[in-house]
Amino acid sequence: MTDFTPTEMMTIAAARALKNDDVCFVGIGAPSAACNLARLTHAPQITLIYESGTLQTRPNVLPLSIGDGELCDTALTTVSVPEMFRYWLQGGRITIGFLGGAQIDRFANLNTTVVGSYDAPKVRLPGGGGAPEIATNCGEIFITMAQSPRSFVAGLPFVTSMGHGRTGRERRDMGIKTKGPTRLITDLCVFEPDPETKEMSVVSIHPGVTREKIQENTGWPVRYAAEVVATPAPTAQELEVLRDIQARTKKAHGGSQ
């Protein structure tokens, strides 16, 4: 078996979930790495859209932010942010939204606002940006997050981006037609929502990871699907392509990545 890191496994598992005909609203960081890995391997025609308004972007290096010139330089075209949100996102033209967060609960609600009380927080986070709109308007949502007790919590102090709601029913009760989070990919395993309760349940466990380790890094009692499979290990090609774009990115950004 080729050596790989947990982060590489997470990125590759996320990339595998994407298809050639997907239109993806891409976040910076792990989502960007996963989407571009898919583009450079099994899904060369995938359409990548970033929040700054760049359409069908094909970056040679991973962007530092949505304002990175690499995105505009390699896009088919760039539109205004209002057009991006009103016509493309709210118009239902995006199949997959990729999100992450500081904290997540068992119904895949995300917090990127505060840790602790909103009025007197222990930590004030960057906020939602476009994530709340992405969470409700994309056809479905993939979430990538490293798993730890600090990030996978029993209860969120603040819901920035709705997953399936506080009890798993709110999304349906509010009449939101999109699917919401359909996959949560971590550095330990892959979760999908239970068809009835919408609680995120483990469907795939990464190589070398035990159920005990998954529970140790989760702030709620972990549920498992009726059938749990082993995540296939990264292939040599997947690792080569991922490491190559990361090396180019580090060189381009002077070691900042």
pLDDT reported for residue 1: 47
The token pair that represents 50 in the structure block: 């970033």
Burial 95-110 (b: 16+ CB within 10 A, else e): bbbbbbbbbbbbbbbb
- For residue 1, is it within any domain? no
pLDDT band at 27 (very low <50, low <70, confident <90, very high): confident
Domain assignment present for 257: no
For the purposes of burial, counting CB atoms within 10 Å of the CB of 198, is it exposed (0-12), middle (13-18) or buried (19 or more)? buried
196 is catalytic: no
Structure tokens at 138: 């994309």
User: Looking at the domain assignment, is residue 188 inside a domain?
Assistant: yes
pLDDT computed for residue 255 by the predictor: 60
pLDDT tens string 172-197: 889 899 999 999 999 999 999 999 99
Q: What is the pLDDT of residues 74-119, one digit of tens each?
A: 999 999 999 999 999 999 999 999 998 999 999 999 999 999 999 9
pLDDT band at 127 (very low <50, low <70, confident <90, very high): confident
**What string of DSSP letters covers 9-58?**
HHHHHHHHT--TT-EEEEPTTHHHHHHHHHHHTT-TT-EEEETTSEES--
Q: How many domains does the chain divide into?
A: 1
User: Does 112 map to a domain?
Assistant: yes
Residue 108 inside a domain? The answer is: yes
φ, ψ (nearest 5 deg) of residue 33: -65, -45
Residue from 8, 51, 70, 238 carrying the catalytic annotation: 51
State pTM to two decimals: 0.93
Is 16 part of any domain?
yes
Residue 93 counted as domain residue: yes
Q: Compute CA distances 209 → 43, 163, 178, whole Å.
A: 28, 26, 32
Q: What does R_g of the chain's alpha carbons equal in angstroms?
A: 18
Mean local confidence (pLDDT), 148-152: 96
Query: Domain containing 50 — which CATH number?
Result: 3.40.1080.10
Q: What is the rounded CA–CA span in Å between residue 211 and residue 188?
A: 9
What percentage of the chain's residues is helix, strand, coil (to nearest 5)?
A: 25, 25, 50
At 2 the pLDDT is 64
Q: Is the residue at 70 inside a domain? A: yes
Q: Which domain holds residue 30?
A: 6-252
